[in-house]
Structure 1
Amino acid sequence: MDFDAAAKDILADVGGAENIGNMTHCATRLRLNLVDRSLADDKKVEAIPGVLNVVYKAGQYQVLIGTEVPKLYAAFEQLVNTARGNAPAEPQTANKGTSQGGISAIVGNVFSAISAIFAPLLPALAGSGILRGLLILFVQLGLIKTGSGTYTILNVTSMTVFYFLPVLLAYSSARRFGASPYISALIGAALIHPDFIGLMGKTGNGATTNLFGIPVVLMNYSSTVVPIILAIWAYSYLYKFLDRKIPENLKLVLLPAVSLIIMVPLTMIVIGPIGVYSGEGVAHMVNWLIDRSSILAGVVVGGGWSILVSLGIHWAINPIMINNVSTYGFDYIVPWTFACNFAVIGTTIGVWLKARDTKLRGFALTGLVTIGLSAIIEPTLFGMLVKHRKLWLAQIIGGCVGGAYLGLTKVVTNAFVFGSVTTFPAFVEKNSGNFINAMVGMLIALVTSAVLAFFFTKRDEKLA
């Protein structure tokens, strides 16, 4: 794929640099917030070599590229910045020329923001999750002893991303909302400074202190998600106001000083506690539903995850999973995404066994390997399942059945990971039944989808 040529063509066909409100990418898609949606020509974009599909969902124009999207994004970003004279992209909160309005527009913007904020961090979270799972496995096998120097170093390696999550999220949130990334990172770092955490003493969350007589409810913000995102969203408005009002020759000193003296106390006094309690509230609600009917939850998530992926809004669920892992040390939702992924693998196996078309069998085999090693289902989803709805139905049913079993047996993961063979260590728990039930649940999803796909596939089925 010629990334420079593709980036140039995509930019031209979506309305040029002036039509790009914000740009980012995830594991497989170039994600754009367009100023005017009507200027984008979907058919022309889809016809560009290397582009697999175009989707407009959750307020974003999503161009499916595949695992090489970072290379395309680098070329695309350079073109946009060059066209703007290296001016940074200004995020837009609304899209002209769209049918979105009211609540749907708000929901779309929220999904768009979540995707842009978390997408850059997902590799770090996934890699750390794999390391965490392997460490637990080695401890269970007696290869590493807890409390040893080796254990401590490896544990720090795997858990650092969660401890410093407010700093990382502050940076990516600032890029999404249009604030200073480095000042934002300082705001996040202030929340986990040892001296601030030390104010809680032995009381922990809920302890109080004061700032010039103003009461401050203390919280441990390490590993939290919601507070810093809300804080940087609020800071983006202050930043833009200060950037307009402060004279250019004073910005170097005044802008960061005023930003910190306002935002750090404001976050600690108001935004932080609200964010902690609201984030815990959402997580408690989801977990309450899981406790009431884990089987139904497994069916809905296991079967519906590929639908969320097809719409590009599955990223909105990630904060809940991350919050569960960082707060409780485990999560029920991640295993159900495994059920979806292994149902997709099963579908590719059924197609490969039944079809005789060389291209279709080759595509199915490529999908099997890609998902098994990297957990990326989009190429298979858009390249095969969406085009052959019966196969998609086979995958959904497999995901439902596998998810139901995982819900019934209350399988959990100890880390936020993507569903592939390489992330199996995330299922290792002191209770060995957790790992066994996880393997059984994924096998059920795989076999169910494989059998259905085999029967749904015609011998002379073609790829397109």
Structure 2
Amino acid sequence: MAMDYKNGAKEIVENIGGKENISGMTHCATRLRLNLKDDSKADTSTIKQIDGVVNIVNKAGQYQILIGTDVPKLYAEMEKLVGDEKTDTSASANNERSSKGIVNNIFSAVSSIFAPLLPALAGSGILRGLLLLFAQLGWLDETSGTYQILTVASMSVFYFLPVLLAFTSAKRFGADPFISVLIGASLLHPDFIAMMGDVGNGATTTFLGIPTVLMNYNSTVVPIILAILVYSYLYKWLDRKIPETLKLVVLPLVSLAIMVPLTTIAIGPLGVYGGELIANLVNWLIEESSVLAGILVGGGWSVLVSLGIHWAVNPIMINNVATYGFDYIVPFTFACNFATIGVALGVFLKAKDRDIRNFSMTGVVTISLSAIIEPLVFGLLVKNKKLFLAQIIGGAIGGAYLGLTKVYTNAFVFGSVTTFPAFVGENTANFINAMIGLAISFVAATILGFIFARKDEKLVSD
């Protein structure tokens, strides 16, 4: 039975300490993420009993309510009750959360900036993988108009990533979203790109006599986020100082006149080099010890998910795909997901209780089709440490093989059967090794799950 989102939202607000206790609100793919002024006012045990609530995680500076893929529908009802001003999670909310730590605030910011873009990134990535597959099979001619138009459809989200991130960053940091989009679009304007000529990145020009290094900002992640973070402070200052009668014209005028040059002169190049440094460091570590990376990420990803801090790694994967066209980390998350499927199947084969068998099989189908592992993680693994260990071992073994064979994806996707096209590339062995690695995770976890599960295993409620 589907969740009654209107009543569910009402019950959550009532038991969270009222809307006055919510300083900020957002959501990701499966979780309603609330920033509370006083966590002690939240009646966690009662909220867990609300129809549709899978679990509660109070980590990374947020009170996270796990709902599932229907969380946007609940969020829409929450907005009606809480008010639009609380969905920004910026301004005063940031000040209230400062005491909870910089790291927690970073996790929260990353989540709210990237979560709205995940469907677009995943869908585009799968379309790109299918195009490559169809071209290899001879079903599509790479010179045909059909192929080229669909290629544009699949790659636009990456090319215009600065524009999309400008919008979500503005919503997070409390800046004007449409002026922020214009700042991002300015970096992709054909005339701006033409200024680089044949030199490309590193070409120079001047602005009011100030030397300016020109960069190609399409498919970049860090520069626009930094730019909008800086702009949020300028915007709030201008909003306070400019009279209401002049805001319509003066505020956007001053914003664009200051932020576009400032971004091209200082913020943009800093962001590009900083983003490349982080990505290169991660990729270097993977190249130097890919097996160890596979063990750590493949085995530990579910732990990060259970804590709600896996978002800290997602931008690195997105940046790799956008910048280089491939990523080594995404396959390790596949290993985690297929190990989770394996444990659930092992429990299904071993347990006799009808409820836990139904729950396990539902989890198998859900992950296979949508890559959502949270229900199984919270409903099964965190309540049975042996089964959690089985999942970690399965993910680590499969991740080690994926690391050893340097498996990559050409898109940022979540690990499921439906996202297999992301492994398709010019190297056929990449797809084969991916299937072998995921089979290793699945089989190992299934066996261990069967061994560790008890015949009288029960679906324990909190």
| TM-score w.r.t. length of structure 2 | 0.96
Tell me the CA shift for residue 51 of structure 1.
1.2
**Residue type matched to 1:223 in 2?**
S
1:414 maps onto 2:397 in alignment: no
Match of 1:140 in 2: 136
Deviations 1:363-402 (A, max 9, x none): 0000000000000000111111111111111000000000
Match of 1:236 in 2: 232
Match of 1:80 in 2: 82
1:378 maps onto 2:374 in alignment: yes
Aligned residues with identical type, % of pairs: 68
Match of 1:423 in 2: 419
Q: Which of 107, 116, 120 is the matching residue for 1:120?
A: 116
1:158 maps onto 2:154 in alignment: yes
Match of 1:13 in 2: 15
**Residue type matched to 1:3 in 2?**
Y
Aligned 1:305-384 pairs, distance under 5 A: 305-384=301-380
Structure 2 Cα separation of the partners of residues 397 and 18 of structure 1 = 44
**Residue type matched to 1:284 in 2?**
N
Tell me the CA shift for residue 147 of structure 1.
2.5
Tell me the CA shift for residue 90 of structure 1.
4.7
Change (3 A) 1:436 1:90: closer
**Residue type matched to 2:94 in 1?**
T
**Residue type matched to 2:34 in 1?**
L
Match of 2:46 in 1: 44
Match of 1:53 in 2: 55
RMSD between superposed Cα atoms in Å: 1.5
Of 250-259 and 32-41, deviating more is 32-41
Question: Secondary structure at the residue paired with 1:93?
Answer: helix
Structure 1 Cα separation of the partners of residues 58 and 378 of structure 2 = 14
Change (3 A) 1:253 1:335: same
On the 8 A contact 1:332/1:411 being kept in 2, the answer is yes
Deviations 1:165-189 (A, max 9, x none): 0000000000011111111111110
Tell me the CA shift for residue 89 of structure 1.
5.9
On the 8 A contact 2:88/2:171 being kept in 1, the answer is no
Tell me the CA shift for residue 41 of structure 1.
2.6
Match of 1:446 in 2: 442
Tell me the CA shift for residue 94 of structure 1.
4.3
**Residue type matched to 2:9 in 1?**
A
**Residue type matched to 1:150 in 2?**
T
Question: Secondary structure at the residue paired with 1:224?
Answer: coil
Question: Secondary structure at the residue paired with 2:330?
Answer: helix
Structure 1 Cα separation of the partners of residues 13 and 255 of structure 2 = 35
Give structure 1 stretches of 5+ with no counterpart.
none
Match of 1:250 in 2: 246
Deviations 1:4-50 (A, max 9, x none): 11111111222222322221111110011223333323223222222
Structure 2 Cα separation of the partners of residues 461 and 283 of structure 1 = 44
